């Protein structure tokens, strides 16, 4: 698949996307549900590959996502980005919001396929429309990095409001800073990049965010 965009991409937007594509990959997906007492972020990696693969072949969307994550990380199976994308896309096409969000980040990062902004945006939009807070936040960041003009500002504001209502910490931070974008931050690539990728101070983050393990890659 060749690199393709729905419309001409600004130099500012392209310069901004590259540094924080990995941020989307880590942040735009909730991990599969874990059994009681087990951290959610370890659920996929602790799954039995053979069992999950059998369920995935039977069409279980959650198992397909889990198998994709196992291939992405190389846990219990050979690390293989193409296989990861194959299984995650199968889950996404069944309407699983976690898979839609993850697939969007894979296309953005160029894992398992060539980077494709239009595909990344399309899958993030699907997950965002289903109420996936991480996808809503990631989509807002993508819109702002692509072209922080008035149209994208309004779209980003919409998605950040949706995610903020779900208590998403980063969405609230970004929403509160949109006035800076409108005041001229959009003309400064370095400041915009720093603002979009800023890590919130530890003291301002909810307790459950401070101690949570890193997201699966």
Please check whether residue 170 is in contact with residue 141, taking contact to mean a CB–CB distance below 8 angstroms.
no
- The answer as to whether 31 is a domain residue is yes
Print the domain residue range for 200.
11-210
105 burial (CB, 10 Å; 0-12 / 13-18 / 19+) is buried
Distance between CA atoms of residues 202 and 181, nearest Å: 24
What does pLDDT average to in each consecutive run of 10 residues of the chain (217 residues)? 36 46 49 38 68 96 96 94 97 97 94 91 97 95 83 92 95 85 65 69 43 38
Q: Show the tokens assigned to 216.
A: 């699966």
Which CATH number does the domain housing residue 129 bear? 1.25.40.10
Please give the tally of structural domains in the chain: 1
For 174-207, write each residue's pLDDT tens digit: 998 887 766 666 566 677 777 777 755 444 444 4
Output the pTM of the full model.
0.70
Nearest CA among 203, 201, 207, 181 for reference residue 192: 181
Distance between CA atoms of residues 142 and 124, nearest Å: 9
- The answer as to whether 125 is a domain residue is yes
Query: Quick one: pLDDT at residue 200?
Result: 53
For 92-114, write each residue's pLDDT tens digit: 999 999 999 999 999 999 999 89
Whose structure tokens read 């190389």? 74
């Amino acid at each position: 698949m060749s690199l393709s965009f729905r419309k001409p991409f600004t130099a500012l937007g392209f310069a901004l996307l590259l540094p924080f594509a990995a941020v989307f990959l880590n942040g735009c997906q909730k991990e599969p549900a874990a059994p009681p007492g087990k951290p959610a972020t370890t659920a996929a990696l602790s799954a039995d590959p053979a069992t999950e693969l059998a369920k995935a072949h039977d069409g279980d969307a959650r198992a397909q996502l889990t198998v994709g994550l196992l291939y992405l990380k190389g846990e219990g199976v050979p690390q293989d980005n193409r296989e990861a994308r194959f299984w995650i896309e199968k889950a996404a096409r069944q309407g699983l919001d976690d898979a839609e969000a993850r697939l969007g980040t894979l296309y953005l990062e160029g894992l398992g396929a060539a980077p494709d902004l239009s595909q990344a945006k399309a899958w993030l939009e699907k997950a965002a429309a289903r109420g996936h807070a991480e996808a809503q936040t990631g989509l807002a960041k993508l819109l702002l990095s692509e072209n922080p003009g008035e149209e994208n500002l309004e779209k980003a504001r919409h998605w950040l409001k949706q995610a903020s209502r779900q208590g998403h910490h980063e969405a609230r931070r970004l929403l509160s800073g949109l006035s800076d974008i409108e005041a001229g931050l959009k003309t400064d690539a370095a400041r915009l990049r720093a603002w979009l990728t800023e890590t919130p101070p530890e003291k301002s983050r909810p307790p459950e965010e401070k101690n949570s393990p890193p997201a699966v890659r």
